[in-house]
Amino acid sequence: MKLRLEIRAEASRHIAEAFSWYEAHRPGMGWAFRDELEHAFKLVQDFPNAGPEVYRGLRRVLVDHFPYAVYYSLPAGAVAPSPGESRQPTPYASDAMRRAPGVR
């Protein structure tokens, strides 16, 4: 079972700003940022324990090739799936990115 990610409004704004900044400074780099961020989101969904705990239940997954991290916490009582366990499709975090202003 995949965990459902909830992206806060402030985080969506930061994502949109970072996308726009990268795209303005180097065409195509915004899309590379988005791809790496989606990869980090998928990692969190598929393997919630992949990110180390950095502070009182707060976990972190680094975004490859960019100076960003995804910080998250697991709901109380959440059971993390094991590799190879069957997972059902759920809404993907990239849906929130597509709705973020400036990100298409």
pLDDT digits (tens, 9 = 90+) for 53-78: 999 989 999 999 999 999 999 877 66
pTM, whole model, 2 decimals?
0.71
- What confidence score (pLDDT) does residue 4 get? 82
The whole-number pLDDT of residue 42 equals 94
The answer to whether residue 24 is domain-embedded is yes
**Residue 91: per-residue pLDDT:** 40
| Number of domain units in the chain | 1
Residues 53 and 73: their CA atoms lie apart, in Å, by 9
* pLDDT lower than 70: segments of the chain: 1, 77-104
Q: Quick one: tokens of 78?
A: 């959440």
* 31 in any annotated domain: yes
pLDDT at residue 77, as a whole number = 62
Residue 53 in any domain: the answer is yes
Q: Is residue 2 part of a domain?
A: yes
First to last CA, the chain: 28
Is residue 33 in some structural domain?
yes
Amino acid symbol at 81: P
The pLDDT, as a whole number, for residue 87 is: 45
Residue 69 near residue 62 (C-beta atoms within 8 A): yes
Helix (H), strand (E) counts: the chain: 3, 3
How far is residue 90's CA from residue 104's CA, in Å, rounded to a whole number? 21
